[in-house]
Amino acid sequence: MNAPDNKDIAVIVVAAGSGSRFGGAVAKQFCLLGDRPLLMHSIDAFRNALPGCRVVVALAPEMRGVWDDLCREYGYVSPAVTEGGATRAESVRNALAAVPDDTHIIMVHDAARPLVSRAVISGVLAAAAEHGAAVPVVPVTDSLRRADTGMAVDRAPFRAVQTPQAFLADVLRRAYAAPLSPSFTDDASVVEAAGHPVTMVDGSPENIKITWPRDIAVAAALMNAADGPEH
Ligand code: CTP
Ligand code: MG
């Protein structure tokens, strides 16, 4: 199948979480990373990789003013904004209502992953265009043990799942039309529960999710290394 036109691709950036593990006065997605707030990096990764794609960002209603102020301060043009929900899945469901009907592929990305590369974006996109649903994954590098029995587990068959996750629009819309289970931690689990298989493609160990305060320093170092003279 041919690669879709960028204008037929919509990207939902979920940014409505409270960042409870990160802590601090303002949720992590609004914190400064290098020269601008983290959320702007996450949005720009797609604007740069897929010029002309449609972006929808889900924000907690009480953070709308903070975001508008940041956009003014940084001279940044915001994409369309929708209201987030109480859970990540509810934020995605709300944002889906703002995705134009004629969209061919919908990608969903965590605002908390500002370092996503063009290679990862194009990899999941191509796999979703072909198979309907795709996620980027990386091998697990720590040893694994079960919390209940304390027994060691063979890590070889396991993969850690990242975002962006990409789907044919009707596959994602149909999946999110069904009741949401609290066990859904990502969009692929919603799609899989609706009966559609999910294809895995290579993610990147650098596509980290900002979770703890120290992750900002790690992300800044990775960004500087990527901008360095050796690249
Ligand atoms: N998210 C969202 N709506 C929610 C919860 C999460 O849009 N109700 C988003 C977050 O803003 C984040 C992404 O989903 O970009 C992944 O979630 P996570 O990293 O867990 O962020 P938080 O839920 O904000 O952080 P924490 O779990 O530490 O509270
Ligand atoms: Mg969370």
Q: Which of 170, 165, 88, 179 is nearest to 133 (CA)?
A: 165
Rounded-to-10 torsion of CA 189, 101, 65, 13: 30
Amino acid 228: pLDDT: 66
Amino acid 4: pLDDT: 83
Amino acid 227: pLDDT: 80
Q: How far is the CA of 139 from the centre of ligand 1 (A)?
A: 23
- CA distance readout (Å), 131 to 117, 122, 158, 163, 166: 21, 14, 21, 17, 10
Q: Which single residue is written with the structure tokens 């990409």?
A: 166
DSSP run (H or E) holding 191: helix 187-193
Could you read off the pLDDT of 109-149 as tens digits, one per residue? Answer: 999 999 999 999 999 999 999 999 999 999 999 999 999 99
Region 53-64 average pLDDT: 98
Amino acid 201: pLDDT: 98
84 alpha carbon, distance to own chain's centre = 14
Q: How far is the CA of 27 from the centre of ligand 1 (A)?
A: 9
Amino acid 230: pLDDT: 53
Average pLDDT across the chain, whole number? 96
Of the pLDDT bands very low, low, confident and very high (cuts 50, 70, 90), residue 2 is: low
Could you read off the pLDDT of 11-47 as tens digits, one per residue? Answer: 999 999 999 999 999 999 999 999 999 999 999 999 9
- In this structure, the residues whose C-beta lies within 6 A of any atom of ligand 1 are 14-22, 29, 58, 84-88, 91, 110-112, 209, 211
Region 46-72 average pLDDT: 98
- CA distance readout (Å), 68 to 10, 86, 179: 22, 21, 33
- Provide the whole-model pTM: 0.97
155 alpha carbon, distance to own chain's centre = 24
Cα dihedral across residues 17, 23, 25, 29: positive or negative? negative
Q: Which protein residue's CA is at the shortest distance from atom 10 of ligand 1?
A: 17
